């Protein structure tokens, strides 16, 4: 370790801060519980180690040089980071996960999701239930969350893949018609209705309803690429031989439909405002209208050894998110609040 690095201790940085705040060596010495000569000696040792002058000796006051001001500014930042790390370690020790990754399907309301993030960061107390599945007493934990949130947007099977491969702790918007592997729990989020839509200037806007497959195949479809890398990608309502424009997410698909670049099924809540404004036209087709049920799923901790009597409890961050998802209002908002209305925050 270099001499300069060994000299830049938290105590040395705190000493610089005390001198700058008090305005003199004598006042800083009283504040730190030292005699002035000891403080002066410590400053000279720091200057020798860094090979710079930190204070202007020509002034009777503790006047910083440019190098001293830089050390003070950076030192204060480092002290804040040291305090933050110490506080974070303490909070993690209370049961908060270091990081929580939430995989969210593209059809889930971004507005509602970010409002949940706001609430998560603002929460000042979480009821940490006992590890016995909610039985017994609840203990308030009066600490802000120490957990770093990581959100990842996925499409179709990609949301489920992120969960089952361990890349996510919680998945919101997964299809419920699947077999659950060991260590995964799922609950119902709600129904998601789809409509077949085109732009008013698209040729199908004037087509006689219901539109059959023979007519649909003559027109380009807009499809969203499944984000799954390992699982079999899901393909919905594409006809063999039909021209396809593939986009990365549902928002891009709706934009393509608005431009008349193709036709396709979209979630009714995401298209609702465009339909009401006449920017998209809903058409009836002979093939089955899409409506599926979505759920949310999470990975549950596995016992440390085979035959363990108890599984480790869920982390406080995941527990907080699961508590929010117990609310019917929250679940409905995640599926339907895709408009730009202001003032209708979830409660």
pLDDT tens-digit map of 162-215 = 888 888 899 999 988 888 888 889 999 999 989 999 999 999 999 998 999 999
Higher-pLDDT residue of 23 and 220 is 220
Of 144, 159, 51, 158, which is closest to residue 96 (Cα–Cα)? 144
Answer yes or no: do 83 and 218 share one domain. no
Q: In the chain, how many domains are there?
A: 2
Q: Confidence class of residue 304 from pLDDT cuts 50, 70 and 90?
A: very low
Average pLDDT, the chain: 82
Answer yes or no: do 143 and 230 share one domain. yes
**DSSP string covering 140-164:** EE-S---PEEEEEEE-THHHHHHHH
Q: Bridge partners of 221?
A: 244, 263
Answer yes or no: do 135 and 11 share one domain. no
Helix ranges (H only) for the chain are: 3-7, 10-22, 25-32, 36-50, 66-93, 110-122, 157-164, 213-216, 250-258, 268-276, 316-325, 328-336
pLDDT at 67: 92
Q: Confidence class of residue 270 from pLDDT cuts 50, 70 and 90?
A: very high
| Host domain of residue 307 | 98-340
Residue where a domain terminates, one of 60, 78, 93: 93
> Distance between CA atoms of 267 and 303, rounded to whole angstroms?
40
pLDDT at 245: 94
Answer yes or no: do 109 and 137 share one domain. yes
pLDDT at 7: 84
Answer yes or no: do 154 and 265 share one domain. yes
Tell me if 114 sits within 8 A of 136, measured CB to CB.
no
Angle between the 36-50 and 25-32 helix axes, to the nearest 10 degrees? 100
The beta-carbon contacts of 330-334 under 8 Å, at least 24 apart in sequence, are 330/112, 330/116, 331/189, 331/190, 332/190, 333/109, 333/112, 334/108, 334/109, 334/112, 334/113, 334/172, 334/173, 334/189
Residue 237 has pLDDT above 80, yes or no: no
Residue where a domain terminates, one of 93, 112, 130: 93
Answer yes or no: do 89 and 157 share one domain. no
Q: Confidence class of residue 315 from pLDDT cuts 50, 70 and 90?
A: confident
pLDDT tens-digit map of 103-135 = 999 999 999 999 999 999 887 444 444 333 444
Residue 300 belongs to a domain with what CATH number? Answer: 3.40.190.290
Q: Confidence class of residue 137 from pLDDT cuts 50, 70 and 90?
A: very low
Of 277, 259, 285, 293, which is closest to residue 195 (Cα–Cα)? 285
For tokens 């020798």, the residue is: 48
Higher-pLDDT residue of 81 and 231 is 81
In a domain, 347, yes or no: no
DSSP 344: -
Rounded to 5°, the CA angle 321-325-327 comes to 130
């Amino acid at each position: 370790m270099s001499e300069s690095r060994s000299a830049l201790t938290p105590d040395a940085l705190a000493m610089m801060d005390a001198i700058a705040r008090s305005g003199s060596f004598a006042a800083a010495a009283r504040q730190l519980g030292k005699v002035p000569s000891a403080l002066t000696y410590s400053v000279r040792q720091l200057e020798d180690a860094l090979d710079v002058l930190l204070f202007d000796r020509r002034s009777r006051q503790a006047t910083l040089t440019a190098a001293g001001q830089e050390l003070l500014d950076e030192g204060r930042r480092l002290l804040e980071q040291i305090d933050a790390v110490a506080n974070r370690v303490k909070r993690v020790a209370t049961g908060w996960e270091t990081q929580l990754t939430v995989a969210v399907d593209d059809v889930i309301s971004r507005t509602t999701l970010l409002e949940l993030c706001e609430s998560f960061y603002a929460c000042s107390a979480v009821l940490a239930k006992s590890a016995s599945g909610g039985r017994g007493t609840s203990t308030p934990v009066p600490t802000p969350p120490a957990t770093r949130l990581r959100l990842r947007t996925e499409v179709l099977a990609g949301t489920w893949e992120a969960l089952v491969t361990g890349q996510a702790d919680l998945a919101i918007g997964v299809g419920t018609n699947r077999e659950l592997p060991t260590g995964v729990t799922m609950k119902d989020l709600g129904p998601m209705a789809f409509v077949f839509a085109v732009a008013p200037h698209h040729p199908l806007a004037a087509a006689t309803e219901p539109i059959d497959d023979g007519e649909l195949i003559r027109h380009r479809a807009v499809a969203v690429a499944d984000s799954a890398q390992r699982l079999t990608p899901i393909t919905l309502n594409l006809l063999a031989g039909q021209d396809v424009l593939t986009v990365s997410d549902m928002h891009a698909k709706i934009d393509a439909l608005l431009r008349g670049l193709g036709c396709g099924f979209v979630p009714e809540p995401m298209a609702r405002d465009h339909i009401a404004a006449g920017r998209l036209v809903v058409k009836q087709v002979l093939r089955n209208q899409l409506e599926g049920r979505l759920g949310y799923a999470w990975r549950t901790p596995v016992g440390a050894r085979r035959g363990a009597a108890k599984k480790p409890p869920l982390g406080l961050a995941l527990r907080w998110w699961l508590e929010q998802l117990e609310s019917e209002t929250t679940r409905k908002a995640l599926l339907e609040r895709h408009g730009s209305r202001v003032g209708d925050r979830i409660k």
